[in-house]
Structure 1
Amino acid sequence: MIIHSTIVVIAYLLGSISSAIIVCRLMGLPDPRSQGSNNPGATNVLRIGGKKAAAITLFGDMIKGLIPMLIAHLFDAPPLFLALTGLAAFLGHLYPVFFSFKGGKGVATALGVQFGLHWGVGLAVALVWLFIAKVVNISSLSALISMALAPFIVWLIWPAPELIVMQILISVILFWRHRSNITNLISGAEDKISESDN
């Protein structure tokens, strides 16, 4: 119990490390919170720093979700603590204690959590994202659709109630964090992937 609780705390702290801000500082780029969409996420880093910086940011955001889940598996965490670990990593990215609780929107970290939970869950969600992105070329819409389907994917692959609730919470919060994107989608003003806010 103590070990599993400690992993949850570690997950939040790891999630609180902002890949976008660190990458931009190391590469001499503007602070992503003050440029472009002002969102410390991979797509905004793509906008202000190019593909290399964005790829590093994306990888960093994903492993923040992946590593805590793998550690939780290593210590045989039951579904409840797996769920708490995933949620903690996700919330750490959104509300990072190291960066005044101002974080990104959480798509990459959520995907890392899903891969860490079960490779099949992560792969299915990623494939949905890629397919929608290929069809509509809009990052936010791809994220919203893939995360809307994620609870059903978890239910199909690992139908533990705690894990399904975790994914529902992540999806609902992610939709709330994308509320400006949803408004733009409705009005037809949302940017394409090369310009969008994720």
Structure 2
Amino acid sequence: MTALTILMLASAYLAGSVSSAIVVSKIFYLPNPRTHGSGNPGTTNVLRLGGRLPAVLVLLFDVLKGTVPVWLSYYLGFTPIMLGCVAIMACLGHIFPLFFSFKGGKAVATAFGAMLPIGVELAGALIACWALIVFATGYSSLAAIVAVALSPLLTYFIKPEYTVPVSMLALLIVARHKDNIVRLFQGLESKIWEKGRATGLHKK
């Protein structure tokens, strides 16, 4: 492994470690997303706690945390497998942030950002899948799980050389949602518009 590879992997992790949800919440004087709402420092919880503008900012920054390291690594000539490793490091930074006591979010937006360089076709398909599931069920977590689970198959038909790295990323994100999967089966998962649970830590 070259020094450049190590540098990019470390940089991706550090970029991922900047928790957009916590930073944006402090800027807008919102409750700490790790101790209020669902307890997850991500876009959906910030939407419940502070509305659309803070949520959009969190989404944008979280996407960029995945896109920028992967784009840079692509132009530096990294192989598809190594690009997958860079993407995973960015997501691991979001999930286990160095700057925030290693307690982070689910990394869905960061994973999406890491997949963006593959092409607009994949991005559009993932967004459409997520939106369809949210519209049909109201569950953001279910939409994320389904979209991420389908991403390797979609990648195979768009740019098959990236199927393996996308599969690696998908496994990480689905595994991160294990608690959501349990709550979905139990009928206890919160829907995206349930703002009434924005006060106090909701762990159901």
TM-score normalised by length of structure 1: 0.91
Secondary structure at 1:147's aligned position in 2? helix
Tell me, in whole angstroms, the C-alpha distance in 1 between the residues paired with 2:178 and 2:65: 24
Partner of 1:150: 151
Partner of 2:199: none
* Amino acid across the alignment from 1:8: L
User: Kindly tell me: are residues 195 and 177 of structure 1, through their superposed partners in 2, closer, same or farther at Cα, counting changes over 3 Å?
Assistant: farther
Secondary structure at 2:143's aligned position in 1? helix
1:145-174 Cα offsets, whole Å, 9 max, x none, are 1111011112222222xx433322322222
Partner of 2:61: 60
Partner of 2:118: 117
Alignment of 1:1-198 (within 5 A): 1-160=2-161, 163-195=162-194
Tell me, in whole angstroms, the C-alpha distance in 2 between the residues paired with 1:117 and 1:18: 24
* Amino acid across the alignment from 2:182: T
1:190 Cα deviation from its structure 2 partner: 2.1
1:77 Cα deviation from its structure 2 partner: 1.7
Gaps of 5+ in 1: none
What is the total number of aligned residue pairs between the two structures? 195
Instruction: Kindly indicate whether the alpha-carbon contact (under 8 Å) linking 1:137 and 1:192 is maintained by their aligned counterparts in 2.
Output: yes
1:20-70 Cα offsets, whole Å, 9 max, x none, are 000011111111111111111111111111111111111111110011111
1:135 Cα deviation from its structure 2 partner: 1.9
- Worse-matched range after superposition: 181-190 or 100-109: 181-190
* Amino acid across the alignment from 1:44: N
Tell me, in whole angstroms, the C-alpha distance in 1 between the residues paired with 2:139 and 2:37: 17
1:188 Cα deviation from its structure 2 partner: 2.1
Which structure 1 residue ranges, 4+ long, deviate > 3 Å from structure 2?
A: none
Secondary structure at 1:110's aligned position in 2? helix
Secondary structure at 1:37's aligned position in 2? coil
Instruction: Kindly indicate whether the alpha-carbon contact (under 8 Å) linking 1:111 and 1:126 is maintained by their aligned counterparts in 2.
Output: no
Tell me, in whole angstroms, the C-alpha distance in 2 between the residues paired with 1:100 and 1:169: 25
Tell me, in whole angstroms, the C-alpha distance in 1 between the residues paired with 2:124 and 2:90: 19
* Amino acid across the alignment from 1:105: K
1:89 Cα deviation from its structure 2 partner: 0.8
Instruction: Kindly indicate whether the alpha-carbon contact (under 8 Å) linking 1:63 and 1:109 is maintained by their aligned counterparts in 2.
Output: yes
* Amino acid across the alignment from 1:76: G
Secondary structure at 2:160's aligned position in 1? coil
1:79 Cα deviation from its structure 2 partner: 1.2
TM-score normalised by length of structure 2: 0.88
Tell me, in whole angstroms, the C-alpha distance in 2 between the residues paired with 1:195 and 1:71: 38
Identity of aligned residues (%): 38
